[in-house]
Structure 1
Amino acid sequence: MSSHSSPKDRFLAMAGSKSVLSAWLASPDPFTQEAFLKADYDFVVLDMQHGLLDRADVRDAITRCYAFGKGAFVRVPVSGFGNASWVLDMGAQGVIMPMIESAEDARVFVKHMKYPPLGLRSYAPIRAAPLAKGGDVDAYVETANSETFAFAMIETRTALDALDEIAAIDGIDGLFVGPADLSIALSDDSRVDIDGERLKDAMRRVAEAAERHGKVAAAYAGDAAHASAYWCRGYDYVGISMDLKIVAEAAELLAKEAKG
């Protein structure tokens, strides 16, 4: 895929699907990770923001993803711009950055995500080049800007007001909606309302802005029904549920069914 193609086209080519689905991993347990890596997800997200993963966990999980032939994206903590560069050096194929609210936030994010001339990412792909390019550092650096993906999370009223400015920044590859946080921000009483009309309208605006700028429209979905709804609304990529939640629900369901 040419580096001159749109971020959306490059992302869909990387994922090999027009309705992209990722697992969402918060547990550092390798056996839990392997269960999701064996399942039919296009890639996995490692959650440093709300999950239990530290740097060593992320480093090892990324290596595990390559062993299973799956891409690894990482959601870093709020304002974790330095972590964005580091997880790329460890071999991550993308970063999801929470609470991007302005074009300036987006520029700072890009600065840490992309090599010059787009950004100022420091030159040290110590794990990325061996994992992604068989140790060819020059090949990795030459293609990294187009083969790694920067997703700006849209979670506030301020971000909604700056949608086009954020989406227009060269180096931002996608807009990622956090429905729970965005619904709280749009509410009058700080309640989560992921099926409310305000959120639906906001998500429509995000998808339209992404389409205008050739970027990926992405969102988190708590279940399969919401994932399907988001795809129907023009979203390209959905991250679904969370490993800890899935395991807990499955354990409870099995016990209930067994006891009748």
Structure 2
Amino acid sequence: MTSLAQRLRSGDKIVTAWSGLAVPIVAELLARGGYEAVTLDMQHGQHDMASVREGMASLTLAGAHRIVRIPVGGNAMASRVLDVGAEAVIAPMINNRADAEAFAAAMKFPPVGARSWGPHRAAMLAGKTSSDYLAGANDSLLSLAMIETPEAIAALEDILSVPGIDGVFVGPSDLSLTLSQGLSLDPGGERTQKAATDIARRTLAAGKVAGIFCLEPGKVQEAIGMGYSLMAFGSDAFLLMEASQAALKSSRV
């Protein structure tokens, strides 16, 4: 299976489902429903290390790419989720070069970073020997820094220049909140979209991967037009509720 990193760097556009429910078979069903990637959310979702561990196996079984968003400042967790099979890790609130360096250090083996050895389960899921896993890990496992604040936008070139940072992931809700200094939540607003467009442009200019969370289906194509290649759309809890409502509505006479 071609890695997520290879696909995104070659220009593929991938939509990832967003999993907040700590039930591994739900993530698997999202993949079996057609999603090429699923992101397990440890920041605002209910996932913990146990559900991520089992979720990585479930997604491997379903043939989907495996992404995890860690909690704010959870760099130790970044190494752990890689060890159980994550192909990409999204780190929230990376606001400056120091934040990016700490995240990259947890994600990459020496000489790029300081990740310690122990990816036995990850190698097993990938069908690789330990030597093969080590040889490709730094290049094939993606470190995506979330850009969500004016401080991060101002420091974007510094963040992108850190060895071991492979790209960015935009959170438009928090971005709108911080751009307005807490006065409004407007992820689809003009100011937020202008910032997202600028972030994508600068990220692509640096030769890195750009990802973004999309709250509406139309925003996926808009994001692609901006230059994004990884788009999150479709949260498990909302998809289940919407499917339930549609099923009930269709059954009423």
Deviations along 1:35-75, whole A, 9 cap, x unmatched?
20112222111111111111111001101111122221100
Q: TM-score, length-normalised on structure 1?
A: 0.91
Q: How many residues align?
A: 251
Match of 1:5 in 2: none
Output the CA distance in 1 between the equivalents of 2:171 and 2:47. 20
Give the stretch that moved more between structures: 249-258 or 46-55: 249-258
Task: State the shift of 1:14 in Å.
Answer: 6.1
Match of 1:227 in 2: 220
Match of 1:250 in 2: 243
Structure 2 unaligned segments of length 5 or more: list them. none
Superposed CA RMSD: 1.8
Structure 1 segment 32-181 matched on structure 2, within 5 A? 32-134=26-128, 136-181=129-174
Aligned partner of 2:7 among 4, 13, 18 = 13
Task: State the shift of 1:191 in Å.
Answer: 1.6
Structure 1 unaligned segments of length 5 or more: list them. 1-8
Task: State the shift of 1:79 in Å.
Answer: 0.4
Give the stretch that moved more between structures: 203-212 or 107-116: 203-212
SS of the equivalent of 1:218 reads strand
Evaluate the alpha carbon distance shift between residue 190 and residue 77 of structure 1 in structure 2; reply closer, same or farther with a 3 A threshold.
same
Output the CA distance in 2 between the equivalents of 1:118 and 1:208. 26
Output the CA distance in 2 between the equivalents of 1:189 and 1:102. 20
Task: State the shift of 1:255 in Å.
Answer: 2.4
Output the CA distance in 2 between the equivalents of 1:156 and 1:25. 24
Q: Retained in 1: the 8 A contact 2:27–2:38?
A: no
Q: TM-score, length-normalised on structure 2?
A: 0.93
SS of the equivalent of 2:238 reads helix
Output the CA distance in 1 between the equivalents of 2:80 and 2:108. 12
Output the CA distance in 1 between the equivalents of 2:24 and 2:169. 27
Q: Retained in 2: the 8 A contact 1:102–1:162?
A: yes
Evaluate the alpha carbon distance shift between residue 179 and residue 49 of structure 1 in structure 2; reply closer, same or farther with a 3 A threshold.
same
